[in-house]
Chains A and B, each alone.
Chain A
Amino acid sequence: EVLLEQSGAEVKKPGEFLRISCKGSGYTFTSYWINWVRQMPGKGLEWMGRIDPRESQITYSPSFQGHVTISVDKSISTAYLQWSSLKASDSAIYYCARQASSYYGMEVWGQGTTVTVSS
């Protein structure tokens, strides 16, 4: 079974560092891109960026460039999304999603990681 398993919910304070993870299983991890998608409370889906695990090539949405960092560890089939200094406005659910390549849809999704940033 193809799965993307995300790390658990996080509660952090403004200014703190955070890294969340997305572990792929049941398929060849390097054969699919991993996207990160944000969903703020009660709002729609926003694409943040993606990584090609084979070459570690990263593309960011202009809206998120410089605010987050996407990375990957191929040896453990895991992609990461990190913030160096969280803000209250980063409170959201973050999803990872698999994509075969350009033009394809995101056909496998993780369960989501809820991030709460509050002082």
Chain B
Amino acid sequence: DIQMTQSPSSLSASVGDRVTITCRASEYISSYLNWYQQKPGKAPRLLIYDGSSLQSGVPSRFSGRRSGTDYTLIISSLQPEDLATYYCQQSYSNPTFGPGTKVDI
């Protein structure tokens, strides 16, 4: 299985801050990298697919980038409702998720 790593494992930021979360795959995954948001007590929600495509209905402050084997989720201006854990997931082969990044406000 392809292993996914994420950094940091947690972060604390203020409203309005720019937040960056990084994900790396153990093998080549092309651009098949997705990002999910999971709020406490809720099901995950797809934010970004194909590395940088914004899922319908997701605020534009969320974006995804790829640089070589590193994939980045960017929240351009953190909002109180962004309190959540964020997971990356590769869909190049059988799906695997990263361990998650918990974002505190």
Q: Provided the pairs A95-B44, A106-B34, A107-B49 are in contact, do residues A47 and B92 lie with their beta carbons within 8 angstroms?
A: no
A44 in contact (CB, < 8 A)? yes
By a CB distance below 8 angstroms, the chain B residues around A47 are 89, 94-97
Which of the 9-residue segments A7-15, A23-31, A83-91, A108-116 touches chain B? A108-116
B71 in contact (CB, < 8 A)? no
| A interface, size bucket | 20 to 34
**Which of B32, B38, B96 lies in contact with A103, CB distance below 8 A?**
B32
Whether B44 pairs with A45 at a CB distance below 8 angstroms is: yes
Contact residues of A: prevailing secondary structure:
strand
B45 in contact (CB, < 8 A)? yes
In the docked arrangement, what's the CA distance between A109 and B50, Å? 18
Nearest Cβ distance between residue B4 and chain A, in whole angstroms? 10
On B, residues with C-beta under 8 Å from A are: 1, 32, 34, 36, 38, 43-46, 48-50, 55, 85, 87, 89, 91-92, 94-100
